[in-house]
Amino acid sequence: MSLYQFGQFVCRCVLSTFYKVRIVGKENIPEKGGVLLCANHISNFDPPLLGAYIKRPVRYMAKKELFDKPVIGRLLNNLGAFPVKRGGGDKQSLRTALQILKSGDIVGLFPEGTRSKNGEIGEGLAGAGFFAAKSDAYVVPCAIIGPYKKRKPVTLIYGKPIDMSSYRENRVSAKEITNLIMNEIQELKDHHLKSN
């Protein structure tokens, strides 16, 4: 068992102990090739939730300050996370994320850039659209539906990959692509709430 797999196991144990976790649509994650997982952001538990219940490893951007802390920084490196400077265009982190996608791995991303204070899905930043446009990766919208309250349901829905071909061919702007992704996430959430 790798360190990453052990981390997944620990995360599943913790999440399943405190919450009634329900995972929907795991079959929508391609078995091979670069994948951009785009999810709404409601809690610090979102990153472990997004990656704990699927087979393929998920790599995340994490704020650079965390890597400056010896223990946390070493752990993040070992788990495949990579640093990003917040508040500006960090070209190195952009290149790293694109390289991960082009090498056929998964990047987990929260397009809103910060946690929602009211649980509602907010506006996404252009970064998600940039990665979707500049790579050939599958783009999988994910809806996280909480709230995270003890023994209450927390649902994670992996949607079907978005067909990006026409957007890439027509060179649609990164912001427009991000808006498309956020709309898909909203639809996943709305459909779930209507059917439950």
CATH number of the domain encompassing residue 24: 3.40.1130.10
Amino acid (1-letter code) at residue 194: K
Does residue 36 form part of some domain?
yes
Does residue 135 form part of some domain?
yes
Does residue 136 form part of some domain?
yes
Query: DSSP assignment of 149-176, as one string?
Result: -TTSEEEEEE-PPB--HHHHHTT--HHH
The predicted structure's pLDDT at residue 195? 87
The rounded distance, in Å, linking the Cα atoms of 38 and 143 is 8
CB burial of 131-158 (b: ≥16 within 10 Å; e: otherwise) equals bbbebebbbbbbbbbbebeeeeebbbbb
CA angle 123, 109, 77 (to 5 degrees): 145
Does residue 30 form part of some domain?
yes
Name the pairing type of β-strands 20-24 and 58-63.
unpaired
The predicted structure's pLDDT at residue 75? 78
pLDDT digit string (tens) for 104-157?
Answer: 999 999 999 889 988 899 999 999 999 999 999 999 999 999 999 999 999 999
The predicted structure's pLDDT at residue 91? 83
The residue among 40, 90, 41 whose CA lies nearest residue 67 is 90
Number of domains in the chain: 1
Bridge partner list, 47: none
Residue whose entry in the numeric block shows the structure tokens 């071909």: 165
Model pTM score = 0.92
The predicted structure's pLDDT at residue 85? 77
The predicted structure's pLDDT at residue 62? 80
The predicted structure's pLDDT at residue 76? 80
Does residue 83 form part of some domain?
no
Is 39 within 8 Å of 185 (Cβ atoms)?
A: yes
Q: Which residues form the domain of 126?
A: 3-60+97-195
Does residue 25 form part of some domain?
yes
Does residue 76 form part of some domain?
no
Spans in the chain with pLDDT lower than 50: none
The predicted structure's pLDDT at residue 137? 96
Bridge partner list, 154: 21
Does residue 102 form part of some domain?
yes
CA-based radius of gyration for the chain: 16
The rounded distance, in Å, linking the Cα atoms of 116 and 178 is 17
The predicted structure's pLDDT at residue 23? 97
The predicted structure's pLDDT at residue 89? 65
